[in-house]
Structure formats: structure tokens, C-alpha cells
Amino acid sequence: MFNYAYPHPALTVDIVIYTLRNAELKLLLIKRGGQPYKGKWALPGGFVQMDEGLEEAARRELEEETGVSGVYLEQLYTFGEPGRDPRERVVTVAWYALIPSDQIHIRAASDAEAVGWFGVDELPELAFDHSQIVQMAHKRLVAKLDYSTLAFQFMPSEFTLTQLQQVYETILQQEMDKRNFRKWVLALEAIEETGHKQREGQHRPAKLYRVKNPGRVDVIK
């Protein structure tokens, strides 16, 4: 039992985990096994331990659900309306993570819950205020493509310019001109040729590129 002179809310982290698969933006959901919202899909998350920081808690949950670590993770917003959880006052610090498309051979889940990747346009009804969280995450993601190098966080260690362009086109939901895109992205000086080529399909092989500073997201303009 833990006693306090004043009431304390419970504190959780929830994570919107994005990846790109089949030219579609997907996010990870977990089917709730217990009440409330039993059987509904929800964002992965859980309680913050007393001896861990908030980002640390988010990375722990991320690793537990997907097995991945070291990926891009950013705090999104903190949600704490009274009544957002019917049991007790729960405040959640929401985060979003981007997983490169080559790291999704992750184990399904740590515990026995049902886990699934959902296209952002085919989301089921979500538990709690999680659809509000997802909505805000998507807005942030789209906005950041415009003024940062965030999109590179989706790329595998080597990738073609066409693949990179598809990432932008998928998330922004608009087609782009190939020549203009290449001119623009190369002018950023954030990627470089690896010297390798990707030979696949009956056509000219594509040059492979890598991100110069893989972990880093820079503001551009």
C-alpha cells in the first residue's frame, strides 16, 4: 500500500508506433484483454515505474511490444482529462515512434495479447481517448515531414531515391515530381551515395543511398 496526504493520479505512457509497409503507413495496436474497453484495440503503453524516466518508460514499452530499440521516439503530448479512464484519474504521456521498414520482423508481442498493424486509414474503434492521440500524432508526423528530416527515420540503412520518395508520397498522400524531388532531397545534403546498387526486376539498377546522420532529425528550411 502506498499512502499520500493528497490524491495522486496514475501515470502511464502510450506510444503510437509507426512503420511503412507495402506503401502504407501503419501503426501498432493491442487488443485489450481486461476491463475497461475489453476487446477494444488500444495503443501500446503502460504504467511508468517510480525509478524510470518518462522516455525510459516509453522505450521499455516499445521494446516489450515490438522488440525494437534505438529507433526514433519523440514525446507527443500529455493527456489528462479527468474521466478519460473510468477506473481512476490516469494521466498519460503520449509518444510516437518511427520504425524503419526493414526492422518489422519483430516478435509479435511479449505477452499473450493480440497485436496488429493497422493502416492509418483503416483503424478500428479505439479505447479511451486513443483516437485523439493518434490524430494528433498523425498531424505532427505530416507537419514534420515539411520542415525536418524526420522521414529518413523510416528508411533502412540503404535505400533508393524512389523508395524515399514513396515514403513522402505515402505519408503526405500526394504524388511528387521525380526530378524535383531528387533535386530537393539531394540539396539537403543529408544523404549520400553508398556506391552500391540495387539490382531487382528487369530494369536499370538503382543507386543506393544512406543517411549521413542516422539518429539525427534536423529542422530544414
Partner DNA sequence: TTCGTTAGTGTATTAAGTACACTTAAATGT
Partner DNA sequence: ACATTTAAGTGTACTTAATACACTAACGAA
> Which positions lie near DNA, rule CB under 7 A?
160-162, 177-180, 182-184, 187, 197, 199, 201-207, 221
Applying CB under 8 A, the site for a copy of itself has a residue count of: 33
C-alpha span between 146 and 112 (Å, rounded): 39
- Least CB distance to DNA at residue 148 (A): 13
Q: Which residue number, 47 or 147, has a Cβ lying nearer to DNA?
A: 147
- Least CB distance to a copy of itself at residue 113 (A): 20
- Least CB distance to a copy of itself at residue 192 (A): 27
Q: Which residue in 23, 33, 47, 86 binds a copy of itself (CB under 8 A)?
A: 47
Q: According to CB under 8 A, which residues from 107 to 136 bind a copy of itself?
A: none
Closest of 13, 31, 37 to residue 85, by C-alpha:
37
Query: Is residue 2 a contact residue for a copy of itself (CB under 8 A)?
Result: yes
- Least CB distance to a copy of itself at residue 82 (A): 6
Beta strands 191-198; 206-211: pairing state = antiparallel
C-alpha span between 162 and 180 (Å, rounded): 12
Closest of 56, 75, 70, 82 to residue 16, by C-alpha:
75
- Least CB distance to DNA at residue 183 (A): 6
C-alpha span between 137 and 198 (Å, rounded): 33
Q: Which residue number, 17 or 211, has a Cβ lying nearer to DNA?
A: 211
Those residues whose C-beta lies under 8 Å from the C-beta of residue 136, and which sit 6 or more positions away, are 76, 77, 94
Burial (Cβ within 10 Å: 0-12, 13-18, ≥19) of residue 67: middle
Q: According to CB under 8 A, which residues from 143 to 172 bind a copy of itself?
A: 143, 146-147
Largest CA distance in the chain: 72
Q: Which residue in 36, 39, 53, 156 binds a copy of itself (CB under 8 A)?
A: 53
Query: Is residue 199 a contact residue for a copy of itself (CB under 8 A)?
Result: no
Q: Which residue in 22, 34, 51, 215 binds a copy of itself (CB under 8 A)?
A: 51
Q: Which residue number, 34 or 195, has a Cβ lying nearer to DNA?
A: 195
C-alpha span between 15 and 65 (Å, rounded): 10
Those residues whose C-beta lies under 8 Å from the C-beta of residue 38, and which sit 6 or more positions away, are 32
Residues binding a copy of itself (CB under 8 A): 1-11, 47-48, 50-54, 75, 77-82, 89, 91, 93, 143, 146-147, 219, 221
